[in-house]
Amino acid sequence: MIADLHTHSTASDGILRPSELVSRAKLHGVDLLALTDHDTLAGFAEAQVAAASEGIRLVSGLELSTLWHGRSIHIVGLNVDVANPQLLAAIASQASVRQKRAVIIGERLEKAGFKGAYEGAKACAGEAEIGRPHFGHFMVEAGYVKSIDQAFKRYLGAGKIGDVKQDWPEVSQAVGWIKAAGGRAVVAHPVKYKLTRTKLRELLKDFKSYGGDAIEVISGLQTPNITRDLTLLCKQFELMASCGSDFHTPAAGWQALGSFGKLAPELTPVWHDWAQAS
């Protein structure tokens, strides 16, 4: 079975609508799919209809932005109750934080000479909450930069004018929201945070103590040594294992749907006891 439990649609910063993402996942042989847009469940209903039509199992999910010792850490929630009041209140709070950040980013870029930055990013976002990738799209469309990668390297990445620190909740709080909604909490793409081995172990120790369930042992295409290392950590901390492409766009081949390695047989998949997906 091919499970892809980390994907994004136009409900956040992905390029495909939820229904289009489901169809593409089916085309790529994915059997179990989770739509995990950033801090929102807005795309789930559309994806659910498409999944029923395509004959693919769909899991409800989202990727929550959090902080751990002041560092940005993403926690994926899987198989959550999409009507849970506590989770819905948390999503509303996250949306408020994102909106405040977007306004500040727009003001900073405006002062730097990027006219209409906020309005342009909002237009690019459409119905989704504005994120830095939308500012990147605006800058490309307006001719300020040649690519989104260039936009991040020069203006939106860490330490740049568009890097606005946010008042995200602590990891412990996000895990609590996910558990209250009956879901499983997963540390997303652990290597992406560029933590030292000691710090990563501290994060996993804390995460486990908060009630966390799993880590993404595989996140898109990655080298075998990374997979081996995360497999070892997964076993050491007695966590379940998840895997996903972190899909955003078909143009990113390293994040192709379902096109990544398999979890080691000695690991317990995060979906191991799900009799059926939502």
Q: Select from 154, 146, 147, 181 the least CA-distant residue to 64.
A: 181
108 shares a domain with 80: no
226 shares a domain with 194: yes
207 shares a domain with 78: yes
Secondary structure, 3-state, the chain = CCEECCECCCCCCCCCCHHHHHHHHHHCCCCEEEECCECCCCCHHHHHHHHHHHCCEEEEEEEEEEEECCEEEEEEEECCCCCCHHHHHHHHHHHHHHHHHHHHHHHHHHHCCCCCHHHHHHHHHCCCCCCHHHHHHHHHHCCCCCCHHHHHHHHHCCCCCCCCCCCCCEHHHHHHHHHHCCCEEEECCHHHHCCCHHHHHHHHHHHHHCCCCEEEEEECCCCHHHHHHHHHHHHHCCCEEEEECCECCCCCHHHCCCCCCCCCCCCCECCCCCCCCC
CATH classification at residue 55: 3.20.20.140
The pLDDT score that the predictor gives to residue 277 is 46
132 shares a domain with 26: no
- Contact between residue 112 and residue 125 where contact means Cβ atoms under 8 Å apart: no
103 shares a domain with 10: no
198 shares a domain with 75: yes
Structure tokens at 49: 């209809």
pTM of the model: 0.92
Q: Does residue 250 form part of some domain? A: yes
Q: Select from 135, 104, 109, 112 the least CA-distant residue to 122.
A: 135
Q: Does residue 63 form part of some domain? A: yes
Q: Which of 128, 156, 184 is the last residue of a domain?
A: 156
pLDDT, mean of each 10-residue run, the chain (278 residues): 97 96 97 97 98 97 96 97 98 94 96 96 90 94 95 94 91 98 98 96 98 98 96 98 97 94 96 74
Q: Select from 114, 133, 112 the least CA-distant residue to 122.
A: 133
Q: Select from 31, 18, 19, 8 the least CA-distant residue to 188.
A: 8
Q: Does residue 162 form part of some domain? A: no
What is the chain's alpha carbon radius of gyration, rounded to the nearest angstrom? 18
The pLDDT score that the predictor gives to residue 278 is 45
Look up the domain containing 106 and give its range: 99-156
Structure tokens at 94: 């996250």
137 shares a domain with 215: no
Q: ∠ CA(41), CA(47), CA(51), 5° rounding?
A: 140
Residue identified by tokens 């649609």 is: 9
Q: How many domains does the chain have?
A: 2
CATH classification at residue 105: 1.10.150.650
210 shares a domain with 242: yes
87 shares a domain with 8: yes
The pLDDT score that the predictor gives to residue 129 is 83
Work out the number of other CB atoms within 10 angstroms of the CB of residue 125.
Answer: 20
76 shares a domain with 122: no
Q: Does residue 103 form part of some domain? A: yes
145 shares a domain with 124: yes
Q: Does residue 274 form part of some domain? A: no
Q: Does residue 277 form part of some domain? A: no
Q: What is the rounded CA–CA span in Å between residue 87 and residue 41?
A: 10
Q: What is the rounded CA–CA span in Å between residue 122 and residue 256?
A: 27
The pLDDT score that the predictor gives to residue 276 is 55
Handedness of CA 219, 225, 228, 231 (dihedral sign): negative
Q: Does residue 163 form part of some domain? A: no
80 shares a domain with 36: yes
Q: Does residue 202 form part of some domain? A: yes
